[in-house]
Amino acid sequence: MIAHAIFFYTFSIIAVVSAIMVTASKNTVHSVFFLILDFISISCLFIMIGAEFLGMIMLIVYVGAVAVLFLFVVMMLNVAQQKNQWFAGQQSSRHIPVGLIISTLIFFEIIIVIGGWKYKPEIFDINNSISQASISNTHSLGQILYTDYIHVFQISGMILLVAMIGAIVLTFRQRSGVKRQSYIKQISRERAEGVEVLEVQSNKGVKLDD
């Protein structure tokens, strides 16, 4: 039990500190690395409460894919040189009032949502029954997700699909005058189109590209 507590506090301290460092660190790429550290420690916490499936999915989706793309974009923007001076520059101080208003709004919204949250008494029973039965975390998640919540699950999938198609439509544009490499054309080229054997007379040479 003591070991459990030690691990819990280690991971949660790492999570909180790295979450603060995401906003506080001066180098943008460093903040992405701290974000990754945060994701990893959160997934460790998930595993500690017995939600191993969620923890692994967190690692695969957020750390393995989303954060890679974050890193990708931040590195490409080359913002490493512009130091992210915290509350110091003239530029950023103008945005502080707006940011403060928005963050207070979000803070009160969260308080309203969490304050009105009541656990159904049945949920505690379900929790107990799961821990007693020898069903693994993944199985129980699947049994709920694909039976009771199938419509919600499918709708969330649809929303993701719509978002993906929307992003593609917004960024897709047909540019004219761009040479495209056609894969089919390239591999179906025959010797006859590419090679020509010429009789070359001495001292005359051959003129190509006519």
Partner 1 sequence: MEHLSTVFQEVYKILFLLVPVLVSVAMIVWLDRRVWAFVQKRQGPNVVGPFGLLQSLADALKYIFKEIIIPSSSNKVIFILAPIVTMTLALIAWAVIPFSATQVLADINVGILYLFAVSSLGVYGIIMGGWASNSKYPFLGAIRSAAQMVSYEVSIGVIIINVLLCVGSLNLNDIVIAQQNMWFVIPLFPMFVIFFISALAETNRPPFDLPEAEAELVAGYQTEYSGMMYAMFWLGEYANILLMCAMGAILFLGGWMSPIDVYPFTLVPSAIWLILKILLLFILFALVKAIVPRYRYDQLMRLGWKVFLPLSLIWVVLTASYLFYFNLLPVN
Kindly state the tokens that stand for 158: 């649809």
User: At its nearest, how many Å lie between partner 1 and the CB of residue 80?
Assistant: 8
Using the rule CB under 8 A, give the single segment among 72-80, 83-91, 158-166, 171-179 that binds partner 1.
72-80
Measured on CA atoms in the order 140, 56, 167, 27, is the torsion positive or negative? Answer: positive
Determine, following the binding rule CB under 8 A, whether residue 153 of this chain makes contact with partner 1: no
Q: Which of residues 24-43 bind partner 1 (CB under 8 A)?
A: 27, 29, 33, 36
Per CB under 8 A, the segment of 9-17, 103-111, 117-125, 130-138 that binds partner 1 is 130-138
Q: For the stretch 11-43, what's the b/e string if a residue is b when 16 or more beta carbons lie within 10 angstroms of its beta carbon? A: beebbeebbebbeebeebbbbbbbbbbbbbbbb
Smallest separation (angstroms) from partner 1 to the CB of 183: 7
Q: Could you say whether residue 68 binds partner 1 (CB under 8 A)?
A: yes
137 touches partner 1 (CB under 8 A) = yes
Beta carbons of 39 and 46 less than 8 angstroms apart? no
Of 76 and 208, the one with the shorter C-beta distance to partner 1 is 76
Q: In whole angstroms, how close is the CB of 91 to partner 1 at the nearest point?
A: 25
Residues that bind partner 1 (CB under 8 A): 3, 27, 29, 33, 36, 52-53, 56-57, 59-60, 63-65, 68-69, 71-72, 75-76, 136-138, 181, 183
